[in-house]
Amino acid sequence: MDNWNRKKMAIISVLAVLLIIAVGFGGYKYTKINQYNSLIKDANGYMQNSEYDKAIALFQQSLSYKNDVNIENSIKLAQSLKEAKKVYNEGIRLMKDKKYLESIAQLKKIGKENDKLYMDAQNKINECNKEYMALNISGANIALNANNYDEANIYIAEVFKIDNNNEEAKKLKDTIDKKIQEQQVAQKAKEEQDKAAASKITTKSAEDIVRKLVLKDSNLDTLSKFDHEQTVDGVKYFVIHVYDVVVDHTATWGWYYVDQNTGKVFDGTMGDLTPMN
């Protein structure tokens, strides 16, 4: 009977030990699972808040509890989003510096891995486009007011690169083209006026024409001077007197008629007008 009691007590003791071990192991496993789940939950929270360094650290810590392909993929995603966030921040910096084209180039690098970041980037791209167009329209107006039409056209071309149907830019372009046309017409009129002025016969040029034709610049003492205007048969002439000055009187060489329109010279010394050139 004593032997049986001893065996019975031994069996109970063994069972008690096994129970304690089982309970302890179960508690340990439960604690580990809770810690693992807590790490994943916190990591996902950091992901939602775009705190990717903290998320990566917790995901990596969770791998010490269990190797999980999904967690490894989450780490890769967090690293990718971290780089995208860096690109986004650089794009925002460029935008604040009014370097709109450079900003757009940066923001376009952001893919659709993170819907929120992608949408934010697209919204900023739209803002950059609007600001860039406004900047160039302002530049075009300033250049237009300063009559710098080529420069104004350069600004408008930049607007059309983004929005070829921009109404404000199209109106400015029409105004610029009209101003350029007016400038060209005015320039042509001035050139014609200058040409006419250059070819116009004056009393001085009439004197020079007669001197070269009659005196051939050989006798510098003989004078060629405008005397009066005269109309003959509806043609207006400058009458040039060619003469020498001697002691107390003048010695006339002749009287020459210069057509005020053509510069042709006629000898009128004998009364009738005889062509000389």
Q: Which whole number is the average pLDDT over 23-27? A: 46
> How does the average pLDDT of the chain come out, rounded?
87
Domain boundaries of the chain, sorted by first residue: 203-275
Identify the CATH class of 203-275.
alpha beta
Dihedral, CA of residue 217, residue 223, residue 226 and residue 232, to nearest 10 = -70
Per residue in 35-63, is it b (16+ CB within 10 Å) or e — as a string? Answer: ebeebbebbeebbeebbbeebbbbbeebe
All residues at 6 or more sequence positions from 267 whose CB lies less than 8 Å from its CB, including other chains: 254, 255, 256, 257, 273, 274, 276
Residue 48 confidence (pLDDT)? 86
pLDDT one-digit tens code per residue, 173-224:
999 999 999 999 998 988 887 776 667 889 999 999 999 888 886 667 789 9
Sheet holding 235-246, edge to edge: 223-232, 235-246, 249-259, 265-267, 274-275
Q: Which whole number is the average pLDDT over 112-127? A: 91
